[in-house]
Chain A
Amino acid sequence: MSNQSSQAEIVRNSLNRRYRKERRFRLYGMLAIFIALAALATLFVDIIYKGHSGFVKTTITLDVPLDPEMMYLDDPTDADQLSMADFVAPIIAALQEHIPEAETAGQKRELGRLLGSYAASEVRDLLENNPDLLGTTQTIEFLAHDRVSTYVKHADNPRYSIKLSEQQQRWVDQLLEKGVIDTSFNDVLFSRGDSREPANAGILGAIVGSLLTMLVTLAIAFPVGIAAAVYLEEFAPQNKFTDFIEVNINNLAAVPSIIFGLLGLAVFIGLFGMPRSVPVVGGMVLALMTLPTIIISSRAAIKSVPPSIREAAEGVGASKMQVVLHHVIPLAMPGMLTGSIIGMAQALGETAPLLLIGMVAFIVDVPGGFFDSATVLPVQIYLWASASEQGFVELASAGIMVLLTFMISMNALAIWLRKRLERRW
C-alpha cells in the first residue's frame, strides 16, 4: 500500500517537471513565431515607410500662354519651325506670373529648373497635335523636377539632401501656397516605362515584361513539369536510370539560379542565336529554374493520392492511363497547382539569371510582345536601387511594394485554388 502511494507521489512530482518542460517547449515555439513575424513586420514597415512617397507625384499647373512671338513659331505644322521653336519661354512666362521677382536671365533659368526636363516637349507635343491652340492660353499640368519633388515630399527628412538653392526653395514655398505646386497619386508610375528622370519613370514596362516572361515560364514549366512528375511516379520502371534522373532533378532544385542564366546565355543566345533581353529567353531560363520545384511538388502530390483509390479503379478494370487521368491527376491537382504557383512566385522574384541574358538593359518602351526588349520587376527594382538620383530610391521601394503585392496575390491564389479544388473532391 505504502509502495503504491509513494509511486503515485513520484509520478505527481515528475508531472510537474513534465508540464514545465512542455510550457518551455511551447514558449520556444511562440518565440520563433514572434521573431519571424517581427522580421516580416519590420520589413513591411520599412518598405512602406520608404516607398509610400513613390506613389505620390509633384505637379506644377500653369496657364501657359502659347504666344507665337514668344516661341518664334507661327505654323505648328511645319516640322522645321517646330524643331527651332522655343517652348521654354512661355513656361517661364507662366511661372513669372506667380513669381514676379524673377527677372534676370539667371533667375529665369533657375525658375525653369523647377520643372522636369520634359516640360518643353510636352508643350511641343500639345501644339504639334493641336495646331489651333497657337495664340491661346492653356492650363497644363507639368511634372515637377525631381529636386522640387524631393523638397516638397522630404523637406523635413534628414536622409534626403535638398538640392535646391535658397531662392528656389522660397519660390517653391510660394507656389505651394498658391496651389500651383501640388501632389497627387502617381499615375505616371503605372502608365510608363523606365526613364532617366525619376519623376517620369514608371513601372508599367517592367510589369508587362514580368507578365510576358511569366507566361512563357508557365507555358513551358507547368506542362513539362507535370508530365515528368506523372511519368516518373506512375510509369517509369524502377531501375538505376530512373534513380539517376531522380537524383539529378533533386540536385537541379539546389543549383544557384545564376547558373541557369549562364546556361541560357550559352545555349539559347549563344547556340540558338535568340535575341538578348527578350521575355521569351527570360521565360525559358526561368522555366528551367522552376521545373525541379514543380516536378518535386507534383510528385509529392501524386504520392499522397491514397493507394486505395488506385486499387479501386484498377479493380473495376480501369487501364493504367485511366487510373492516372480519372483519379490520380484530379486528386493530385491541388498539390500540383500549389507547387507550380509557388515555383512561379519564385521565378517572378528572380533577378540573377535575367541579368546574364541581358534583361537588365535600360528600356523606356513598354514591351508589346514576347520578342520585344523588356525588363522585369525585380530587375527594374535593382536598376532603380543602384541609380544615383535620390528620386529613384523611393521608386525602388514603391517597386518592391508592387512586386510584393503580385507575390502575395499569387500565393493567395495558390491557397484559394487548393481550398476550392479540395472541397470539390
Chain B
Amino acid sequence: MNTMNPSISAEADMQDQGPAIPVRENNPEDTVIEEGKTVGKPFAADPKFKLRNVSVSYGKDRAIKDISLDIGRNEVISFIGPSGCGKSTFLRCLNRMNDSIDICRVTGELLLDDEDIYHSKRDVVELRARVGMVFQKPNPFPKSIYDNVAYGPRIHGLANRKSDLDDIVENSLRKAGLWDEAKDRLDSIATGMSGGQQQRLCIARAIAVSPEVILMDEPCSALDPIATARVEELIAEMSESYTIVIVTHSMQQAARVSHRTAYFHLGHLVEVNETNKVFTSPEHQLTESYITGRFG
C-alpha cells in the first residue's frame, strides 16, 4: 500500500468500500432513458400550455432533452425530480425567464393558448403579464407593501385611478391571505415582514397583474412548516382561477397540492400522471426509485 501513489490508493480504498453499499437488483443509475419518451399521461384535452419537443441547452450542455407536455387549464401540476434534473430550467422556459442568460438556447414548440411564446415577434413583457412567477426565495422589492403589490399594475397601466389601484392591492392581498396581517401597515417596508409573509406578498404581487398562469419555483423551500401550510392552502384556493405550475423538492407537497405530477430525470421528462397514481403506482422504474427515496 505504501508504495502506491495516493491517487491509486484512493481508488483502491473506494473499491474496498464497494461491497459495504448494498447492491440493488435494479440500480436506477443504470436505467437507460429513451429520449423524448414519457410514460403516463403527458397530454391534456384542453391545454393551456402545449409544449412539444422542447430542448434547452446552455452552450454545449443540454439541460432539457426533448420534452413534450401539456399543462391543462386551471390545473395544478408539480414538477419533481432530483437536483439538477432540469425542472426549474423547464419552468423558466414557460415565461422566458431564461432569456437573460446569453448562452441559453430553447428549441421546440412552446404554445400558450396556441400562440408560440418564443416567436420572434412575441413580446416577453406581455407574456410575463400573463404568466406570473413566484421564486424560491421570497424576493419582495425593498419598498412598502403597497408598492410591492401595486408595482405590476402600475407598469402595465392596469389602474387609471388611485382607487382602482387600491382595489387591486386589496384584492390581491386578500387572495394571498395577507390582507388581515398587512392592511394596517401597507406603508411599512416589505422586507421587514417574516419569510412566510414575504412569500405570500410575492404571490400577491404576482396575482396583482391577473395572470392566467402562475409559475412557482420551490415556493416553500425557504419557509417553516406553518408558513408552508399557509402557502399550500393558498395554492389550493388559487387553483380555481389559475393554472399553476409548481416545482418542488417535497414529494408530500406535490402530493398535497397538485392534480398531476411530472417526474424529471437528468433533463428527461420520465413520467407524468395523476398525482395519486404517481405516488401509489408509478409506471416507470425511475419514478418508483425516486419516490421510494432510493436516490434524489
A residues near B (Cβ < 8 Å) are 237-238, 306, 308-319, 322, 326-327, 331, 425
Q: How far is the CA of A59 from the CA of B155 in the complex (A)?
A: 68
19 chain-A/chain-B pairs, Cβ below 8 angstroms = A306-B139, A308-B139, A309-B139, A309-B142, A311-B133, A312-B135, A312-B140, A312-B202, A313-B151, A314-B97, A315-B128, A315-B135, A316-B206, A317-B125, A317-B127, A317-B152, A318-B155, A326-B151, A327-B141
> What residues on B are CB-neighbors of A326 within 8 Å?
151, 155
B155–A311 CB distance below 8 A: no
A residues less than 8 Å from B197 (CB atoms): none
Contact A309 B126 (CB under 8 A): no
Interface status of B38 (Cβ within 8 A of chain A): no
The reply to whether B125 and A312 form a contact with Cβ atoms under 8 Å apart is no
B100 lies within 8 A of A314 (CB): yes
The 8 Å CB contact of B155, one of A237, A322, A331, is A322
Asked whether, in the complex, the Cβ of A308 is within 8 Å of the Cβ of B155, the reply is no
Q: Is B209 an interface residue (CB 8 A)?
A: yes
Shortest distance from the beta carbon of A180 to any chain B beta carbon, whole Å = 67
Q: Interface of chain A, helix or strand or loop or mixed? A: helix
In the bound complex, CA of A330 to CA of B202 (Å): 20
B132 CB–A CB distance under 8 Å: yes
**Cβ A312 vs Cβ B141 within 8 A:** yes
Total inter-chain residue pairs, C-beta < 8 Å: 63
When A238-B102, A322-B155 are in contact, do A315 and B141 touch as well, CB less than 8 Å?
A: no
Chain A positions within 8 Å of B129 at CB level: 316-317
The one of A306, A315, A331, A425 that contacts B97, using a Cβ cutoff of 8 Å: A315
Residues of B within 8 A of A311 (CB): 97, 133, 135, 139
Q: Which residues of the partner chain B approach A308 to less than 8 Å between Cβ atoms?
A: 135, 137, 139
Residue in B100, B102, B128 whose beta carbon sits within 8 Å of that of A316 in the complex:
B128
A315 touches B95 (CB 8 A): yes
Besides the known contacts A312-B205, A314-B128, 4 further A-B residue pairs in the complex with CB atoms under 8 A apart: A306-B139, A308-B139, A315-B133, A317-B155
User: A316 and B209 in contact (CB under 8 A), knowing A238-B102, A311-B97?
Assistant: yes
Residues from chain A with a CB closer than 8 A to the CB of B155 are: 316-319, 322, 326
Complex alpha-carbon distance, A238 and B140, angstroms: 29
B156 on interface, CB distance cutoff 8 Å: yes
**Interface bits B119-154 vs A (CB < 8 Å: 1, else 0):** 000000111110011110101111000000001100
Q: Which residue of A lies closest to B202 (CB)?
A: A312
List the 7 closest pairs (A to B, CB-CB), nearest first: A317-B128, A316-B152, A308-B139, A315-B133, A317-B129, A312-B139, A425-B142
**For B133, what are the chain A residues with a Cβ–Cβ distance below 8 Å?**
311, 315
A316 to B127, CA, bound (A): 10
Chain A contacts for B95, CB-based, 8 A? 315
Q: Mark B95-114, 1 if CB is under 8 A from A, else 0.
A: 10100101000000000000
Q: Please, which residues of chain B bring their CB within 8 A of the CB of A331?
A: 142
Set of chain A residues within 8 Å of B125, measured between Cβ atoms: 317-319
Measured CB to CB, the closest approach of chain B to A86, in angstroms, equals 76
The residue of chain A having its C-beta at the shortest distance from the C-beta of B151 within the complex is: A316
- Structural contact, A315 and B132, CB atoms closer than 8 A: yes
Contacts of A425 in B (CB 8 A): 142
In the complex, which residues 134-190 of chain B have their Cβ closer than 8 Å to any Cβ of chain A? 134-135, 137, 139-142, 151-152, 155-156
Of A314, A319, A331, which is in contact with the most chain B CB atoms at under 10 Å from its CB?
A314
What is the CB-to-nearest-CB distance from B12 to chain A, in angstroms, rounded to a whole number? 27
Contact in complex: B135, A309 (CB < 8 Å) = no
Nearest CB in chain B: distance from A304 CB, A? 13
In-complex Cβ contact of B209 among A313, A317, A327 (8 A): A317
Q: For residue A45, give the distance in angstroms from its CB to the closest CB of chain B.
A: 44
Is A317 a contact of B156 with CB atoms below 8 Å? yes
Chain B: minimal CB distance from A308 (Å): 4
Query: Which residue of chain A lies nearest to B135 when distances are taken between CB atoms in the complex?
Result: A311
Alpha-carbon separation in the docked complex, A327 to B206 (Å): 17
**Shortest beta-carbon distance from B128 to chain A in Å:** 4
**Complex: how many Å from CA A308 to CA B217?**
13
Q: How far is the CB of A334 from chain B (nearest CB, A)?
A: 12
B127 to chain A, nearest CB (A): 8
Across the interface, A309 reaches (CB within 8 A) one of B102, B134, B141, B208, namely B141
CB neighbours (8 Å) of B128 from chain A are 314-317
Residues of A within 8 A of B152 (CB): 316-317
Q: Which residue of B lies closest to A306 (CB)?
A: B139
- Taking CB atoms, residues of chain B closer than 8 Å to A318 are 125, 151, 155
Chain A residues, CB < 8 A from B126:
317
Residues of B within 8 A of A322 (CB): 155
Q: Once the chains are docked, how many angstroms separate the CA of A250 from the CA of B160? A: 47
Contact partners of A314 in chain B: CB under 8 A: 97, 100, 128
Provide the bound-state CA to CA distance between A144 and B128, in Å.
Answer: 79
